[in-house]
Amino acid sequence: MNEKQLEKLFAEVKDGKLSVEEAVQRLRHLPFEDMGFAKVDHHRHVRCGFPEVIYCPGKTEQQVAAIFERLAQTGHNVIATRADESVYDAVERLAPLKGLRYERAARMIVLEQQPIESPVGDIVVVTAGTADMPVAQEARVTAQMMGQKVELVCDVGVAGLHRLLGHIERLQKANVLIVVAGMEGALASVVGGLVDCPVIAVPTSVGYGASFEGLSALLAMLNSCASGVTVVNIDNGFGAACAAAAINRRIQPNKG
């Protein structure tokens, strides 16, 4: 519950539209709600600018659905990451809400209760290859749900550098770049040497045996010769989008 919602709640009590008991019932879950198997953080929106996000692996379908339903009751937008379609089906059965959808490419469940009418910022997500798309889509959907303007530039890895150069003007106008690459992870260094904006590198687990499920790309990005490249964990498109959105909130919406 944010500040405006609290003001509305108090006004309804003052005007007699809501009883004190009803107001207490609404407030009793602040700042978190203990569900036994999970403690749902209802104040994260106030502290961090976006509600708690559900990470699905390791949870049962019923647990994800129950947490999703609780978060949906706040009226905020809700997302769940790394979700299979069976998890989405469980959520839809328990909470068949308007605005609920499954983003298959991103493996995310999304509930858009508050339409994002005027996205701000300017994030470009760049992938080395098509195989990196699931992680890139996770970054795209996350950033969009956080109110960001996002564009996707796909399959411009260093094996065909001319493909990247065909988008150079667009990349140089972005506020933040998210570069998603597996194999040897070289794309982040190349992009970092061409632009003056923050570059967030995301190593992916794409690649043959010696890529060690993304470890090679991670180490290459951490050892980037391009100054200022920041690296998140393997396959962490969600984390990259959160960082990019936080940067955008601190700078002008658009450089160009």
Topology of the domain covering 120-248: Rossmann fold (3.40.50)
Question: What kind and span of H or E run contains 177?
Answer: strand 176-181
Indicate the SS3 state at residue 154.
coil
For residue 129, the model assigns a pLDDT of 93
The answer to whether residue 122 scores a pLDDT higher than 60 is yes
Query: Which of 18-32, 82-96, 131-145, 158-172 has the weakest average pLDDT?
Result: 18-32
Supply 17's token pair. 């539209």
118 falls in which pLDDT band (50, 70, 90)? confident
Structural domain spans, the chain: 31-111, 120-248
For residue 199, the model assigns a pLDDT of 97
Return the percentage of the chain with pLDDT > 70, whole number: 92
Q: What is the pLDDT of residues 164-199, one digit of tens each?
A: 999 999 999 999 999 999 999 999 999 999 999 999
- Angle between helical axes of 20-27 and 3-14 (0-180°, round to 10): 160
The answer to whether residue 145 scores a pLDDT higher than 70 is yes
Q: What is the pTM of this model?
A: 0.83
> Which pairing describes strands 229-231 and 199-203: parallel, antiparallel, or unpaired?
parallel
> Which pairing describes strands 54-55 and 78-81: parallel, antiparallel, or unpaired?
parallel
